[in-house]
Amino acid sequence: MTIVVVTLWAILSMTFDTSVFAAMENGLALPEIVYKRTSAVSGGQRHQIVSLKARCHTQGKPLDLILIIDSSGSLRTQSDEEFQVIRDIISIVAVSPDATRIALVQYSGVARSEFHFNTFTTRQQILDAVQVINPLFGITKTGNALAQAISELDAEKGMRPGDVPKIAFLISDGRTQDYPDDTNQAVRLRSYGVDVWSYGLGEYVAIEELINVTGDANKVVTRKNYPHLKELFEPFKGVEICEKATVCIPGTERPLDLLFLIDSSESVEKKFQDEIDFIRRTLNNVNVHPDAVRVATLLYSGKPVVAFDFRRYQNLEGSLEWPAISDVPFGFTLKCLFSNESPETGTT
């Protein structure tokens, strides 16, 4: 366990009574306390480890993309290829609420929506969701899947207005047991302003069936013309704009007790607010919590007095209010030093 003492504006006199630490009733963290990485709740407050990872914002052309994946029994051996295509598409487009939104429909004999346009907002969230999808197996009815895709065209599910491009991307070998319903539903889907594209899985693809669904041979991708997949989605690639990564000296996960010694004498009256501002900036960069960084303040002029001890505040919001500091008159003779009757100190 670490104790840090920050002295503001002046060095304490050599006659300073070090019993002040004992007077705080050892509100210091016990050495055996370990700062856990998992979230914890204490006093109704939840705390997290502060991430130093640079925050990023994705910018790109808006797109509402529906992925329609065939998981019928006939494609059982093609699942690796199918999910690789999905991952490649997701890695190309700029996924964000303002750029590409993605919904996913899975089907065999039945069809179901795995997630909607507004379920996930980042590329990683979608990749994680795709990773745990369980195949349906069974017969193949592509018409059902296209009808299910139409049901996703709903503002409550995150679809945006008509001026935002919409693409339904079917991943299948083209074979279906509900012809001509697949073609009819594809025509219906396109009538809603949705552009239909497809990827033909495996070596033996029913190309003509996929062309009937897409309405354009140029919108069908297979192993033979796989680079065309990137060309189709290139307009929606976008860019990722990130803040400069935080530069930080490697720290520790051990708990910290942070004591601020604040000069409140008349000689620094004009600079007192600067002292408070410094403390605020410091606390905005630490995790104030009983199991992490605990804060105490001690003011001094003629004599020192505890404004609040390590047990007073349990979170950052509380500690930044600083009512005890703001109300201290400059040059005031502090008489109520560490007494049991002093409500300001919080000591016993």
Each residue of 84-116: pLDDT tens digit? 999 999 999 999 999 999 999 999 999 999 999
332 in a structural domain: no
Domain ends where: 179, 206, 241? 241
Sequence-distant (6+) residues with CB within 8 A of 317 are none
pLDDT (0 to 100) of residue 40: 41
346 in a structural domain: no
Q: Measured between alpha carbons, how far is 257 from 310 in angstroms, rounded to an integer?
A: 7
Domain count of the chain? 2
Domain ends where: 241, 258, 280? 241
Asked whether the predicted pLDDT for residue 199 surpasses 80, the reply is: yes
Higher pLDDT pick, 121 / 299 = 121
113 and 88 in a common domain? yes
Domain boundaries, position 168 = 57-241
The model's confidence at residue 217, banded by pLDDT at 50, 70 and 90, is very high
204 and 73 in a common domain? yes
pLDDT (0 to 100) of residue 53: 60
pTM metric for this prediction: 0.57
138 and 6 in a common domain? no
109 and 27 in a common domain? no
Closest CA to 346 of 289, 300, 286, 298: 298
What is the rounded average pLDDT for all residues in the chain? 76
Q: Measured between alpha carbons, how far is 20 from 8 in angstroms, rounded to an integer?
A: 17
156 and 136 in a common domain? yes
Q: Which amino acid appears at position 218 of this protein?
A: N
CATH code of the domain in which 15 resides: 3.40.50
Residue 116 near residue 103 (C-beta atoms within 8 A): yes
70 and 6 in a common domain? no
